[in-house]
Chain A
């Protein structure tokens, strides 16, 4: 049911029955290491290429999620998800391993938000069980967007590090004592003409602001109505910028958190924090989902953010368009 320009209330509650997470070795040494299901020791994970390792990560994660819910792939109605790599190869190729209908999505690092929204709609249209999954891998993203791994480059202080990891959630219409999706806002593309490809936080913060503002207005809520507002991968600078943008509009939000800012520990060298399509899915599924289940958090606004550039678009003089989708997740 539409309640705002692009905000909807989910008619039939969409429950998050089970989650599974997997992360790379560097993320496994980060601040969330005790919450992650499996940590891979080496980023190749016995595969010939890093892309194959990312495919294996997704495949293993989906299977792990199915095992946790004690169902098989034949009980699934659809897999939705994506990643950062050209033609979303890791997601499509991992879906190849399952005999399940598949929809590949791309919204860069906001893909997990997009996946949750698409899955909610599928479930409200007679599907029963849908997997939403995203992943990213430092090495596959680095070679696609930046430089070869062994090139001696120096990261800028505002840059972020692509997270090696994946988060997977099994969504269902079957009522259970688990968090559920109640509302969502489909974000618009916002572009304030940022062109520094190293400063993704600055490019994405206005999109997060725009979507959060729209969601709060449409649902007639304030930040205080949520236990936490969790953005995707703005990083520390992006989170401060979002706070500034909100306060400029008179919205005081002291409960902002950001998946990218917390995925690595402070002494790890990761610039402003983590990024990547797998960043917010990994952090949400490993850290915030259990907090919701144990009712430490009862209602959150989850806002994955994405920068929709390619390697070539900045070279062609384009600025960086960004997007954010908001999803209200709560538990009774």
Chain B
């Protein structure tokens, strides 16, 4: 039989590959639309609450987008959109909400404590760990630079 190196080569050359232009375009358009919706909420809140500071408007916008991401995950729509959009639905904050809510729903069957609570960060865990890790590292660098 063919050796494993030749076989890998055959598979690499013949297996169907993603249509990059299509997937990139879909990710760009759908991800872009999600971000435009976020910007729309940001503008709306700035208009409704003119006395608010920019960072409060941004917080309320994030909360709104997280709510919408979670809500559409609960309705079972977000994963259908994700099948087309790929990174376009993963990168925005709605994707983060989706990555927390989907295991929370999935593992509810094993109970609230050992299911939902224990496995809620199954997918989002690496994002949180790397986020915290990087922010600590940046904080230390910032501190050292500040000494001089």
User: Taking beta carbons and an 8 Å cutoff, which residues of A are in contact with B?
Assistant: 48-49, 143, 147-158, 191-194, 196, 199, 202, 206, 209-210, 237, 240-241, 244-245, 248-249, 269, 272
Within the assembled complex, what's the spacing in Å between the Cα atoms of A272 and B7?
A: 19
For the residues of B in contact with A, the DSSP-based class is helix
B10 with A152: CB separation less than 8 A: no
List of A residues within 8 angstroms of B16 by Cβ: 157-158, 237, 272
Residues 73-118 of B contacting A (Cβ, < 8 Å): 73-74, 76, 78-79, 81-86, 89-90, 95, 98-99, 101-103, 105-107, 109
List of B residues within 8 angstroms of A156 by Cβ: 18
- A-B interface, 10 closest residue pairs, ranked by CB to CB distance from nearest: A152-B82, A148-B106, A150-B102, A154-B86, A148-B102, A151-B102, A157-B16, A192-B4, A193-B4, A202-B11
Within the assembled complex, what's the spacing in Å between the Cα atoms of A269 and B79?
A: 14
Within the assembled complex, what's the spacing in Å between the Cα atoms of A193 and B105?
A: 36
A209 with B1: CB separation less than 8 A: yes
CB distance from A313 to the nearest CB of B (A): 17
For residue B106, which residue of chain A has the nearest CB? A148
Within the assembled complex, what's the spacing in Å between the Cα atoms of A143 and B47?
A: 44
B106 with A152: CB separation less than 8 A: no
For residue A209, which residue of chain B has the nearest CB? B1
Contact A157/B17 with A150-B78, A193-B4, A245-B1 known, Cβ cut-off 8 Å: yes
A192 with B15: CB separation less than 8 A: no
Q: How many A-B contacts if CB must be within 8 Å?
A: 98
Name the residue among A191, A192, A248 with the largest chain B CB count within 10 angstroms: A192
List of B residues within 8 angstroms of A269 by Cβ: 83
Within the assembled complex, what's the spacing in Å between the Cα atoms of A158 and B16?
A: 6
For residue A245, which residue of chain B has the nearest CB? B2
Q: Size of chain B's interface in residues, with CB distance under 8 A?
A: 39
A240 with B14: CB separation less than 8 A: yes
| B23: interface (CB < 8 Å) | yes
A151 with B98: CB separation less than 8 A: yes
CB distance from B93 to the nearest CB of A (A): 13
Within the assembled complex, what's the spacing in Å between the Cα atoms of A191 and B102?
A: 34
Contact of A151 among B10, B17, B99 (CB under 8 A): B99
Contact A151/B82 with A156-B18, A158-B15 known, Cβ cut-off 8 Å: yes
| B54: interface (CB < 8 Å) | no
CB distance from B22 to the nearest CB of A (A): 11
Name the residue among A150, A152, A154, A199 with the largest chain B CB count within 10 angstroms: A152
List of A residues within 8 angstroms of B107 by Cβ: 148
| B135: interface (CB < 8 Å) | no
Within the assembled complex, what's the spacing in Å between the Cα atoms of A199 and B13?
A: 13
List of B residues within 8 angstroms of A245 by Cβ: 1-2
Within the assembled complex, what's the spacing in Å between the Cα atoms of A151 and B101?
A: 8
